[in-house]
Amino acid sequence: MAPRGRKRKAEAAVVATTEKREKLANGGEGVEEATIVIEHCTSRVYGRNAAALSQALRLEAPELPVKMNPAKPRRGSFEVTLLRPDGSSAELWTGIKKGPPRKLKFPEPQEVVEELKKYLS
Burial of 7 (0-12, 13-18, 19+ CB in 10 A): exposed
Domain boundaries defined on the chain: 35-120
Model's pTM, two decimal places? 0.67
What pLDDT sits at residue 80?
Answer: 92
Q: Which residues contact 30 (CB under 8 A, 6 or more apart)?
A: 85, 86, 87
CATH architecture observed for domain 35-120: 3-Layer(aba) Sandwich (3.40)
Q: What pLDDT score was predicted for residue 101? A: 81
Region label for 96, one of left (φ > 0), alpha (ψ between -120 and 50) or beta (otherwise): alpha
Q: What percent of the chain has pLDDT over 90?
A: 16
For residue 31, the model assigns a pLDDT of 56
User: Which residue positions in the chain have pLDDT lower than 70?
Assistant: 1-3, 5-31
